[in-house]
Amino acid sequence: MPRWWPDLAGSWIFYSTLPPLPGVSPRFERIARFAPLLGLVIGGAQAVLWWLGQQLGLPIAACTALVLAFGLILSGGLHLDGVMDTGDGLAAGPRQLEAMADSRIGASGLLAVVLVLLLKTAALLSLGPLAPAMLIWSAVWGRIAPLPAMAWFPYLRKEGSAAFHRLQRQELAMELLPGALLIGLLAALCLSTNPTGLRIVALVAGLSGFLPSVLVPLELGRRLGGHTGDSYGACVEWSEALALWCGWFSWWLLN
């Protein structure tokens, strides 16, 4: 069994509600590097559900609602909770850590989660035939986004439950390796499965998710002065939403 297999099993449990991987004891150490793999699984499941809905003749709005709800179920709402807490923290000024630790949701947190869901909904309604592919791309890019946040910014809570992510990480290039391999795989699939005229469009649309996966952790880290487990989750959700829009903009621009 590879040395990294227990970390993958730990990531599988930590980042999803899927049944545990069989035959391995999970280890919760360098699990963030394998989060993009969970993005591939969750985004892939959403894409299949979207395809099934289209085959059954469901309206596109119904498909959108179903895939977003399915994604929340598979992730346990872990990252969306971070969006709410981070939204409250950004509005709390010097009391940001106290506000983020408060289990009660404030107006700013509610507004943040509504905005994320609205952005995802509008993007999926606009993407048309590109929606299934962008569900996968955005889910992978979204789970890559916390890795630079962990590497570039201090962790703001010394005893926070997500502090182990930063303490046990290695160099950013090593942490990004599994995600980079997945991006390469998705790029190869874009070039091999799309019709000739759509290959470059689909590839550029997918790769455009790189921008929010870097800019979102940078901006949140700058505004908060660092990161917490909540802002790691916010990085995932905001990067996902903006990756969908980057995909749409690329598609529109190249067509």
* 3-class secondary structure, 27: coil
Task: Of 44-53, 145-154, 193-202, give the lowest mean pLDDT range.
Answer: 193-202
| pLDDT range class, residue 100, cuts 50, 70, 90 | confident
Question: What is the per-residue pLDDT across 221-249, written as a single tens digit (0 to 9) for each?
Answer: 999 999 998 999 999 999 999 999 999 99
| pLDDT range class, residue 201, cuts 50, 70, 90 | confident
Stretch 33-55: mean pLDDT: 96
* 3-class secondary structure, 237: helix
The candidate with the shortest Cα–Cα distance to 66, out of 119, 120, 127, is: 120
Burial class for 25, CB neighbours closer than 10 Å (0-12, 13-18, 19+): exposed
- For residue 30, pLDDT beyond 80: yes
Residue 95: give the domain boundaries. Answer: 5-254
Stretch 41-61: mean pLDDT: 96
Rg (CA), the chain: 18
The candidate with the shortest Cα–Cα distance to 232, out of 213, 246, 247, is: 213
pLDDT of residue 192: 85
What are 155's strand-pairing partners?
227
Token output for 121: 């909904």
- DSSP H or E run through 76: none
The total number of structural domains that make up the chain: 1
- For residue 197, pLDDT beyond 80: no
pLDDT of residue 167: 59
pLDDT of residue 92: 84
Q: What is the pTM (predicted TM-score) of this model? A: 0.94
- For residue 164, pLDDT beyond 80: no
In order of 85, 165, 167, 168, the CA distances from 151 in angstroms are: 21, 10, 10, 11
pLDDT of residue 42: 97
pLDDT of residue 48: 97
Do 217 and 149 touch, CB atoms closer than 8 A?
A: yes
Provide DSSP, 83-100: HHHHHHHHTSGGGHHHHH
Do 109 and 88 touch, CB atoms closer than 8 A?
A: yes
In order of 101, 208, 216, the CA distances from 114 in angstroms are: 20, 24, 18
- Give CA–CA dist 8/17, Å, rounded: 14
